[in-house]
Chain A
């Protein structure tokens, strides 16, 4: 279990993290979201024991990160921001070094190092110096060192930054397979990632928690939740269609993007309009290229929540 109690970190007059409290249980994959500079990295550093909190405390599996630092650190696998490592070392030497410091020896060391080499597909670059590797490989080396001791808690700061789409997919699968019995905290600003791997999302803005929900709940907060998007063939029809759609009983508003010949129909609170829109389209004989029911757009929720927090903070 990770327990954060009123974590606060100030840098001079700047409060980077402001009174953050949360608990993460095994089996949870927590996504830390927030604009750059919101305090994600500082929070993760405090949990990993790199930055001491100005006030408040963090606990890993019952061990205080500050007072029982070594015990807490033994239980964490940590990928720092930017995946730093020792550039002059070969991948093999580096992983063995971390494994040794982590207390692995003999056969167990070999088994574990081979395991992470396989999982992150590093076999082809084992004897290359880390500084000569591409950004994607370096990130994977960083991930490999974080999981080499099979820790119960994983703290990963932007684990997929710099990876191509295939590699991102692999890393997400890796996180998925490890998620069952571990506690995983990742930070990201890629919203699709939250949908793909996280069971819970905490959005922080200006050092404070502004949302703490499942990704589905977050999407439900979007004004696009249950909205219907239509795309038609003829641009000339768009305005007339919008007028008709606005006439439907359950419809709150209709947005038009003429350039892409797209209309988005927003339902009134709690209502559903898909059946009505679809029926209207059939009866009018509109030729549609697309008709979709929206789940909700995370990016829209993210933007709204974080900008609200920013204006509140400024006021």
Chain B
């Protein structure tokens, strides 16, 4: 566990040692504002809730989270520091969890910095803060799931741009798994049970369920299982091809 903590804190500091952290946070917050106020019609709706704000999170994450996750392992591979890291006395699992935890903590900070909108809505009206808290939790869990997918794909690639693009596509499929766009691809030939399972994988449905304020344990567990599975896959990929 010590290994996880040390690696996570090194990794976390690395975000702020480069412009990456600041650029990401500024763009994240700016886009959040644009989406919420212009596309979401925050004022025009005249309702004291943050639905127009949270509705855009999945789409923003789709582009911004792969930008964070792409460097997780691809950069280590490219600079050769992976050889250093993997010959230190830490297990592959510790390294995977440590790096993921740092990335997740970083997105948590970006997300937390959206607090002015929460203050705004409380100033203007009387929203249900329980629903807002649940939506923040859902948003954070979804970001974690995106990151875990990105971690695995970054581990399999040396090139960060390739990792970015593949992550984006895979995340897109997961996001829309419950929609015809993805389901039609399977429904022609796969058995109904498989199609139903795929439909159940949709990030969007689980996120929407949580963000309505109903924190169903199943939705939370779903995201945690997705994270765990992809991190496990990351460790497997690394053990198989860390030196390639």
Q: Which residues of A contact B (CB under 8 A)?
A: 45, 48-51, 70, 73-74, 76, 78, 80-82, 84-89, 93, 97-98, 100-103, 129, 145
Contact = CB atoms under 8 A, between A and B. Distances in A.
A88 B6 CA distance: 17
Contact of A84 (B6, B84, B88, B89): B84
Interface string B3-15: 1001100100110
A51 B243 contact: yes
A76 B87 contact: yes
Contacts of A93: 10, 13
Nearest to B80: A84
B6 A74 contact: no
Contacts of B91: 70
A50 B242 contact: yes
B83 A50 contact: yes
A97 B90 CA distance: 13
Given A50-B86, A50-B87, A74-B89, 14 more contacts: A45-B243, A49-B86, A50-B83, A73-B87, A78-B84, A80-B80, A80-B83, A80-B84, A84-B84, A86-B10, A86-B79, A89-B13, A98-B88, A145-B84
B18 interface: yes
Contact of B6 (A81, A101, A145): A101
Contacts of B6: 97, 100-101
A88 B14 contact: yes
Given A51-B243, A93-B13, A84 B90 contact: no
Interface in B52-87: 79-81, 83-84, 86-87
A70 B3 CA distance: 12
Nearest to B242: A50
Nearest to B3: A101
Nearest to A131: B79
Nearest to A155: B87
B95 to A, nearest CB: 10
A158 B115 CA distance: 52
A82 B79 CA distance: 10
Contacts of B79: 84, 86-87
A49 B87 contact: yes
The binding surface of chain B is classed by DSSP as: helix
Contacts of B10: 86, 89, 93, 97
Contacts of A51: 243
Contacts of B13: 89, 93
B89 A82 contact: no
A98 B10 CA distance: 10
B86 A101 contact: no
Contacts of B86: 49-50
A88 B83 contact: no
Nearest to B78: A84
Interface residues on B, range: 20 to 34
B87 A78 contact: yes
B193 interface: no
B181 interface: no
Nearest to A105: B2
A147 B192 CA distance: 60
Contacts of B3: 101
Given A78-B87, A80-B80, A101 B7 contact: yes
B23 interface: no
Nearest to B17: A88
A50 B243 contact: yes
B17 A89 contact: yes
A159 B83 CA distance: 16
Complex A-B, nearest 9 residue pairs according to Cβ-Cβ distance, in ascending order: A84-B80, A80-B83, A88-B17, A51-B243, A73-B89, A74-B89, A84-B81, A48-B87, A101-B88
Contacts of B14: 86, 88-89
A81 B91 CA distance: 22
A76 B88 CA distance: 9
A163 to B, nearest CB: 19
Given A48-B87, A74-B89, A88 B18 contact: yes
Interface in B110-153: none
Contacts of B84: 78, 80, 84-85, 145
A50 B243 CA distance: 7
B90 to A, nearest CB: 6
B108 to A, nearest CB: 21
Contacts of B18: 88
A45 B83 contact: yes
A103 B89 contact: yes
Contacts of A49: 86-87
A129 B80 CA distance: 17
A85 B79 CA distance: 8
A85 B85 CA distance: 9
A93 B17 CA distance: 12
Nearest to A82: B80
Contacts of A48: 87
Contacts of A80: 80, 83-84, 87
